[in-house]
Amino acid sequence: MERPLTRNIRPDEPPLALEAYRRVGGYEAVRKALAQSPEAITQAVKEAGLRGCGGAGFPTGVKWSAVPMGADAPHPKYLVVNADEMEPGSFKDRLLLEGDPHQMVEAVIVSGFAIQADHAYIFLRGEYTLARQRLGAAIREAYAAGLLGPGILGSGYGLELHVHSSAGRYMCGEASALLNALEGGRAIPRAKAVRTAVSGLWGKPTVVNNVETLCNVPHIVNNGAAWYKSLGLGDAVGTKIYGASGKVKRPGAWELPLGTTLRAIIEEHAGGMRDGVAFRACLPGGASTAFVGEAGLDVAMDWHGVQSVGSRLGTGTVIVLDDQTCPVGMLLSLQRFFAQESCGWCTPCWSGLHWVASLLHRFEAGQATEDDFDLLRTQADHLTKGYTFCGLAPGAMESLASGLDLFRDDFMRHVSLRRCPWRA
């Protein structure tokens, strides 16, 4: 099985330095890309069917195609790597950044070339200090080797790459809010009246992509779209970094063919549940996805498969809830996070999420009534897509709405016992 994204990554070993990375074929994609037209790269990415791994799954080549190209395109153009990774339960980008920083740099150069970006930013989560050091070292090496800066490898294409270390806010991961953060402001989302591909950072054409999304690009350039497609299972294309956390035997992250089943991830790769606990449900793609119960385990973890059981692939990192853990408490932990991280821009989000967290806390404290359950429902119904300004609150409601369905009895036990049944 091919694992292009993680092939150079060894647990608890430092990443490959430039020479070693080159020895295993690193930066070949840069050479190949520079010999082609930018449009050809975009076309290849489109053909490969690469979709965004930041959670929304938007086709990457389509996004790039919206960038104005040619002699009278506005400049500078920007490529931004979304390395904010603050979604609870997600830890795949950290693996790529710490494990193979040169792959990230190469991905930036090749992708930047495709849209003819002049500057690229890696918008890095502030707490990722190790990733920052390693990326910094890789970028220095790349500059020294003429892979970054003006006239890359003697070509007419130049690119400056900067790392921006975030001051911490989940909203920064939302692509348009991220741009406001890069501009030195509050990370408030932007209206979707205009595509960032046309007017983004400082009003210039800008593409924002997730770390994992971009890391695929050099491999597509090296091996072609057909190869990339062949990596997936069934209709799915490419590989995906899946992860599992919670009370499984071997929590971790693995690069697997896209379309691997949820059951395979939890039972084979994560080793199944720890002794003494049993599987209850899971969030298949991070905190912003809906619960999937036992019945949904055989679904293929790809863009369509997970949707068929009412959830989403999201970031592909599974959070497992076991039968010894209080689902209400888990929801409280999730919703406290979302309420805390709301940026304060739109009413449903800043007020509604606070209310949700307060209500869940009341259940947890054994003070809730059945009415409070209905109130939670009302909130969940009205904090969904289209009602709010951005995706934060709707994402938050995925776990809540499904949790209210799945764990109604648990909620009611909190009401009737006037305490959390899971606490002594």
Q: Which of residues 63-82 bind ligand FMN (CB under 6 A)?
A: 82
Report whether 159 contacts 198 (CB < 8 A).
no
Q: Compute how many residues bind other proteins; rule: CB under 8 A.
A: 89
Q: Which is nearest to 110 in space by CA: 217, 216, 26, 35?
A: 217
C-alpha span between 301 and 313 (Å, rounded): 6
The reply to whether 191 sits near other proteins by the rule CB under 8 A is: yes
Residue 14 CB, nearest distance to ligand FMN (Å)?
A: 25
Q: Which does 246 bind (CB under 5 to 8 A by kind): ligand FMN, other proteins, none?
A: other proteins
Residue 90 CB, nearest distance to ligand FMN (Å)?
A: 7
Site string for other proteins, 4-43 (x = CB under 8 A): ----------------------------------------
Residue 36 CB, nearest distance to other proteins (Å)?
A: 29
* CA atoms lying within 13 Å on the CB side of residue 44: 26
Site string for ligand FMN, 80-109 (x = CB under 6 A): --x-xxxx----------------------
Residue 380 CB, nearest distance to ligand FMN (Å)?
A: 17
Site for ligand FMN in 193-212 (CB under 6 A): 208-210
CB neighbours (10 Å) of residue 200?
Answer: 25
State phi, psi for 344 to the nearest 5 degrees.
Answer: 95, 15
Residue 203 CB, nearest distance to other proteins (Å)?
A: 3
Residues 6+ positions from 60 with CB-CB distance below 8 Å:
45, 46, 50, 51, 52, 209, 213, 217
The reply to whether 347 sits near other proteins by the rule CB under 8 A is: yes
Site for ligand FMN in 114-143 (CB under 6 A): none
Identify which range of 18-26, 166-174, 179-187, 242-250 contacts ligand FMN by CB under 6 A: 166-174
Q: Which residues of 100-112 are buried (b: 16+ CB within 10 A; e: fewer)?
A: bbbbbbbbbbbbb
Site for other proteins in 40-79 (CB under 8 A): 76
Site for other proteins in 134-163 (CB under 8 A): 160, 162
Q: Which is nearest to 315 in space by CA: 6, 51, 53?
A: 53
Among 355, 391, 419, 422, binds other proteins (CB under 8 A): 355
Give the number of residues written for the chain.
424
Residue 152 or 320: the one with the smaller Cβ distance to other proteins is 320
Residue 224 CB, nearest distance to ligand FMN (Å)?
A: 21
Among 5, 139, 147, 187, binds other proteins (CB under 8 A): 187
**Can you tell me whether residue 163 is helix, strand or coil?**
strand
Report whether 84 contacts 127 (CB < 8 A).
no
What token pair was written down for 94? 């950290």
DSSP for 52-111, written as a single string = -TTTT--BHHHHHHTS--STTS-SS-EEEEEE---STT--HHHHHHHH-HHHHHHHHHHH
**Can you tell me whether residue 282 is helix, strand or coil?**
strand
Q: Which does 58 bind (CB under 5 to 8 A by kind): ligand FMN, other proteins, none?
A: ligand FMN
Site string for ligand FMN, 357-396 (x = CB under 6 A): ---------------------------------xxx--x-
Using CB under 6 A, list all residues that contact ligand FMN. 52-56, 58, 60, 82, 84-87, 170-171, 173-175, 208-210, 213, 390-392, 395
